[in-house]
Amino acid sequence: MILRNVLKNIYYELISGDLNIDVKGIDYDSRNIIDNYLFIAIRGNNVDGHIFIDKAISKGAKAVIVDRIIELPDSNVAIVKVHDSYKALAKIASNFYNNPINKLNIFGITGTNGKTTISYILKSIYNMKEEVTLIGTIKYIIGNRTISAPNTTPDALVLNKLLNETVNEGVKNVIMEVSSHSLALGRIDGFHFQTIAFTNLTSEHLDFHKSMSEYFKAKSRLFTDYNSQYKVVNIDDKYGNKLYKSIEGKKYSCSIREKSDFYAENINIGKDGTYFDLNLKKEKIYIKSNLIGKHNVLNIVIAASIAYLNGIPKEQIAIGIKKLISIEGRTEIIRGKNNIDAIIDYAHTPDALTMLLKSVKEVRMWKKIILVFGCGGDRDREKRPKMGNIACKFSDSVIITNDNPRTEDSEHIIREITQAMKCDYIIVKERAKAIKKAFEIADNGDVIVVAGKGHEDYQIIGREKLPFSDRKEILKVIK
């Protein structure tokens, strides 16, 4: 693509070179640059990409985007100055990939908890008739092809590449988890959505956002700064209720507590799944889901409402929900011998852990709950004692272990978790041994809940990312 077209609708200043050169690719990582690429120098939190411009040129870059004045000896390279390289990346990437957002129906889901589950329920509904693209926490999926997901919402360059591949493969609908980081950092600037949904807001990422008000402000941007056809909001959540009252346009409420635009009633939760009546505005359908817990009832209501608003027949909605057996690392049940089951879940916030353990209790078909959990290092410390108290309140036995301690001393993390706990607990720092210990103390009819890591297949200790999977460790001992 001609550089001039790559820069369309961006304010810039040509410092040197020619805007009519042909750009074969774009990247902000100098290690990925090859002949005739455009290198975008971005100032990050730790490293300034401008220091790698010489390296990018030596590898074949024919154009460079900067946001500060630099001196370069090579006059054959086009140097373009913008106000902010990172913010310009979103539009540059969209231009380079021929603005794929204009050719797709994009469903954006934001909130602290539930995004992944809602995404997979919605995918199951659509998959009854067609393939979709899913961009989220566990993986990126384009039709039948999967790609590893380093971020819930990828940066603008990766995101536009994925959307361009979606267009090329003939897929029309995209289900996307929208993180607060992506909203705050402008990764999806310029996007417009067919439908957006808000799940809830609980204490999380406060190391980044600094306060709940800033966190809510970031999440709310999806509803205030981006165009959408429909807006779906969980009004059972206090922040959702606040958001619903403040936004305009075609907005729809979801609830499992009261009558709303979309709501559930006659809820029955058992060990083999969940049953309820789903009210879709003026229509009602009976839902059978393999997912357990009231939090998943609400997730189903939100997913079903998105599908219904976009013209999916109620029969397809019901079958799509029923067809979904489980979601990796999201209240994922593994049946074991001696009537001892295990549940893997990503719950790593106080609210998510509360909902998870309450949901397990509501089943009333397991005797005791044995909880294995920890808290991440180099992250929000305020949630640690809260999660310790929640563990005591809703579990019968508690085993505290490591959960990505990173560069923080694991013993210090555990001390902060246990500082206010008023129940007996066991500390087994090595996570594999903690899971094994849970099975050793379990009796017939008990359930072991392993929380915090969910789908993750690694453990971060120090700065090293080591292979580790809760699921694999459970399967070693459960059979």
Q: What are the residue boundaries of the structural domains of the chain, listed by start?
A: 3-96, 100-323, 332-478
Tell me, yes or no, if the pTM score tops 0.85: yes
Which two tokens mark 247?
């936004």
Strand order across the beta sheet in which 273-280 lies: 145-148, 139-142, 133-135, 173-177, 105-110, 192-198, 227-234, 251-255, 262-270, 273-280, 283-289
Predicted pLDDT of residue 46: 85
Predicted pLDDT of residue 204: 67
Which CATH topology does 332-478 take?
A: Protein-Tyrosine Phosphatase; Chain A (3.90.190)
Predicted pLDDT of residue 210: 67
pLDDT in tens, 455-476: 999 999 999 999 999 999 999 9
> ∠ at Cα 32 (30, 34), nearest 5°?
95
| CATH code for residues 3-96 | 3.40.1390.10
Which residues 6+ apart lie within 8 Å of 454 measured at CB?
Answer: 328, 329, 330, 332, 344, 345, 346, 347, 470
| CATH code for residues 100-323 | 3.40.1190.10
Predicted pLDDT of residue 10: 95
d(CA 189, CA 436): 46
d(CA 174, CA 134): 6
Predicted pLDDT of residue 209: 53
**pLDDT tens, residue order, the chain (479 aa):** 999 999 999 999 999 999 999 999 999 999 999 999 999 999 988 899 999 999 999 999 999 999 998 877 666 899 999 999 999 999 999 999 999 999 999 999 999 999 999 999 999 999 999 999 999 999 999 998 999 988 888 999 999 999 999 999 999 999 999 998 888 888 898 899 999 999 999 866 556 656 889 999 999 999 999 999 999 999 999 999 999 999 999 999 999 999 999 999 999 998 789 999 999 988 999 999 999 999 999 999 999 999 999 999 999 999 999 999 999 999 999 998 778 999 999 999 999 999 999 999 988 889 999 999 999 999 889 999 999 999 999 999 999 999 999 999 999 999 999 998 999 999 999 999 999 999 999 999 999 999 999 999 999 999 999 999 999 999 999 87
Which residues 6+ apart lie within 8 Å of 248 measured at CB?
Answer: none
Nearest to 8 by CA among 186, 190, 196: 190
Predicted pLDDT of residue 151: 85
The SS3 assignment for 315 reads helix
Predicted pLDDT of residue 252: 98
d(CA 94, CA 98): 6
Half-sphere exposure of 352 (CA within 13 A, CB side): 29
